[in-house]
Amino acid sequence: MSAALIPERLAAVEALSLKSGNHSPNDTQMCVMEAASYIAGEPWSDHPQCACPVITDFMISWNDSLPSDAERDRLLKPLIPLVVGTRSTPAVEEKRSYMALDWLIRVHTPKWLEMVPALHEQAKALRELDAIVDMAGATAAGVKVRLASKDAAAAGAAAGDAAGDAAGDAAWAAARAAAGAAAGAAAGDAAGAAAGAALKPTTEWLQASAVDLVKRMCAVEVA
C-alpha cells in the first residue's frame, strides 16, 4: 500500500517528543504509530491503515516499554517514515511475523540468557536453532524455549505474561526470566542503579538489533 508523507507534518513530529500510551489528536502528544498516521494524513489512530499490522504491534510494544521520551525519540523517530506504506498482503504479513518471532527467540532471548553463567548452554541452544520461517520451525523452537524458560525461572526470576502465539509466549517468558536473573546477579548488594549500569550494554545492543529488525521487516517486498 503506497502512502505519501506530508513534509509539514513530518517536521512537526520531529519537533516534539514521542510519548507512551494512547493519545487524543487534541492533546499535542503522540506515540510512534500515532505519529505515523499523522504524517501519512490518515485519521488519528495508533493502528494506521498505511502500516503493516505486524510492524505496528512491534512498534507499539517497543514504544511503551522504553523508559523515557528521549529513548523513544532516539530509537523510534527515524523509523516512522519507513513504516508508512508497509501495509501489504497476508503473505507478507506472515513473513514479517516469523521474522519478529525469529528475532525474539534466536536473538533477544539468548542475549539475556547468556548474562547468567548457568544459562549459557540454553542461550547457545537457541542461537543455534534454524531460522524460524514457518509454523513447523516455530513449534520446534518452542520446545527449546520452554526448557530455557524453566531453567531461567529456576535461576531466580519470575516469568511475566506476554501476548502472542505459544512459541512467542515462551520466548518472552524466557527472556524476562533471564533478564530478571541477570539483574539479580548484577545487583547483588549494590543499589539498583548499579544493576542498571551492568545491564546497559545488553540493553543497548538489543535496541540496535531491534532497529535493524524493523528496517528488515519494512524492506520485505510489498505486494
Q: What is the pLDDT of residues 37-92, one digit of tens each?
A: 999 999 999 999 999 999 999 999 999 999 999 999 999 999 999 999 999 999 99
pLDDT recorded at residue 185: 46
pLDDT recorded at residue 210: 94
- Residues with Cβ within 8 Å of residue 36, at least 6 apart in sequence: 48, 50, 51, 80, 83, 84
pLDDT recorded at residue 118: 87
pLDDT recorded at residue 70: 96
Instruction: Phi first, then psi: give them for residue 26, nearest 5 degrees.
Output: -100, 0
- pTM beyond 0.85, yes or no: no
Sites in the chain below the pLDDT cut of 50: 157-166, 182-192
